[in-house]
Amino acid sequence: MNAAVVERAPSGKVQEAPSSRTHPSVSDWDWRIPPSRGDTDPATARRARQFRTRWRLSNPDEWRGQLKALSHFDSDYTYDEGHEYTEDWTSDPDYPFEHRLEYDKDGFLVPPHSWHAAYLTTILLVLQELFRRGLNLTVSEPELHFDSETSRVLLLLTDGGNFKTQVNPDVAVLPAQADYAQHRVLRTDLGEEKPVMVIEVVSPTSVERDRDEKFRLYARLGIVEYLLVYLGDSDIPLESDLRLEMFRLQDNGTYALTGEASGGPPYRSIHSQVCGTSLRIGPPRDKVEVPLFQWYDSDQERWRDTFSDERFEGRAEGQLKLALKMLKHWLPADADTDMVAKQWSDTELPENIDDMILAVQANPEQWRTILGMDDNEDTNGLSDGPS
């Protein structure tokens, strides 16, 4: 391989670089190599990116040939001349590829914040539990396709002036009973239903796009709610940086800010019509965890997330074991304690359990009626449950 056309990726791997007839000089840095922070100065990094973009615009056939050589090449995707595409990584936030790098404000390639993926998982788990009894489906980083007319109206263009027709929201809530060919590929351009809610976790490299390009796009598509989650740019999210902004679609087709909540005391919340409840953000429980993301359960009258659910279920299990242990002192020998345990596990421990235990102590033979187990008793082998 000709050494003049070799490029080193930030990972240290060797990549083939464009073999243009002219190789502009950017200070002492090879313009074909996307620099990482510390490799050169910001001005040189920004100019080198401009040169790479200019080369792709001037040599479209050669650039297209390099793209086609990638094992993950997608002939239907609109590649952006302003971004990098290699065998191992890309800088395009909308390209469906696992390993992404980002351009920071100084023009250097940097990995996404380590907490970004972890927080997407946190949000996903919380919303999946919230919608567990309903029919809404929550998906992480789906491909959201839209038509070129939308791009034309909103001027969503690549550096080469081609219409963008795809973005990857961080989290999307799909409408109940919607029919999709694939839940991770949402084809609104082919008539599939749009999400009812989209959530973006804002980073320093995405804030302008999340608040402008995607803001206008999601409103144009008719997505009912748009939630922005701010975590700041520290390695460990600071309480003072945590913030939620809820936008709701208005009758005129634009978004209006309907709620804003910070992650520090006092812990305010925002209401979501799609979720049917309030949401809030809070500081991490310790330095190795991501910030809290919780929803309010009006039935249980508490704020819920995965951690609080585990703690709540553990406390409930302990209370159940204690109640059964106390009952066994007074129940007849032939009493079916497994049936009692199952019913209370499937529902909840009765609020008046103390009174029930005292009543069983006084009238042990009436334990079924006192504990509300009469409906569960088999009669001639028949059951009141589903057949």
| Same domain? 178 vs 240 | yes
Residue-wise pLDDT for 288-299, tens only, equals: 678 889 999 998
Q: Quick check: 320 and 342 in contact, CB under 8 A?
A: no
User: Could you tell me if 178 and 87 lie in one domain?
Assistant: no
Mean pLDDT of 357-375: 78
Q: Phi first, then psi: what are they for 239, rounded to 5°?
A: -55, -40
pLDDT for 363: 81
Q: Give the range among 166-170, 246-250, 369-373 with minimum mean pLDDT.
A: 369-373
- Specify the residue for token string 């913030």: 243
Contact 54, 167 (CB under 8 A): no
Residue 382 belongs to a domain? no
- Our count of domains for the chain comes to 3
Q: Are 216 and 252 in contact (CB under 8 A)?
A: no
CA distance 342 to 354: 19
Q: Is 370 a domain residue?
A: yes
Higher pLDDT, 143 or 361: 143
Q: Does 233 lie in the same domain as 90?
A: no
pTM for the predicted model, two decimal places = 0.73
Contact yes or no for 180/186 (Cβ under 8 A): yes
What CA–CA distance (Å, rounded) separates 373 from 378? 11
Cβ-defined contacts of 237-246 (< 8 Å, 24+): 237/115, 237/283, 237/284, 237/290, 237/291, 239/263, 239/264, 239/283, 240/264, 242/281, 242/282, 242/283, 242/291, 243/281, 244/270, 244/279, 244/280, 244/281, 245/270, 246/270, 246/271, 246/272, 246/279
Of the candidates 110, 131, 157, which is a domain's last residue? 110
CA-based end-to-end distance of the chain = 72
Q: How far is CA 35 from CA 41, 59, 262, 317, in A?
A: 9, 22, 36, 55
Of 4-13, 26-35, 97-106, 329-338, the poorest mean pLDDT is in 4-13
Give backbone dihedrals phi and psi of 63, rounded to 5 degrees, phi first.
-65, -40
Interval 42-71 mean pLDDT: 94
Which DSSP symbol is given to 382? B
Domain range for residue 7?
3-110
- Do 212 and 336 belong to one domain? no
Residue from 204, 209, 226, 220 nearest 110 by CA: 204
What's the pLDDT tens digit per position in 151-177? 999 999 999 999 999 999 999 999 887
pLDDT band at 210 (very low <50, low <70, confident <90, very high): very high
Of the residues 245, 274, 299, the one at which a domain ends: 299
Antiparallel, parallel or unpaired: β 197-202 and 225-230: parallel
pLDDT band at 133 (very low <50, low <70, confident <90, very high): low
* Short-list 206, 214, 266, CA closest to 230: 206
What's the confidence (pLDDT) of residue 377? 44
- Residue 10 reports pLDDT greater than 60: no
In whole numbers, what is the pLDDT of the chain averaged over residues? 82
Q: Is 73 a residue whose pLDDT tops 90?
A: yes
More confident residue, 188 or 9: 188
Mean pLDDT on 198-227: 95
| 10 and 75 part of one domain | yes
Stretch among 12-26, 49-63, 127-141, 269-283 having the lowest mean pLDDT: 12-26
Nearest to 126 by CA among 250, 312, 303: 303
Q: Is 285 within the bounds of a domain?
A: yes
Task: Read off the pLDDT band of 181 (50, 70, 90).
Answer: low
Query: Is residue 11 scored above 80 in pLDDT?
Result: no
Q: Tokens representing 212?
A: 């402008």
| Domain stops at, among 41, 75, 110 | 110
pLDDT at 264 over 80: no
- Of 165, 170, 234, 175, the C-alpha closest to 198 is 170
Tell me: do 162 and 256 sit in the same domain: yes
Q: Is the pLDDT of residue 84 over 90?
A: yes
Tell me the pLDDT tens digit for each residue of 229-240.
Answer: 998 776 666 667
Query: Does residue 383 sit within a domain?
Result: no
**pLDDT at 13 exceeding the cut of 50:** no
Instruction: Write down the H helix ranges in the chain.
Output: 42-58, 60-68, 114-130, 148-154, 207-211, 213-221, 306-327, 337-346, 353-362, 367-371
Same domain as 124, residue 62: no
Amino acid 225: pLDDT: 98
pLDDT in tens, 316-347: 666 777 777 777 767 887 788 788 877 777 66
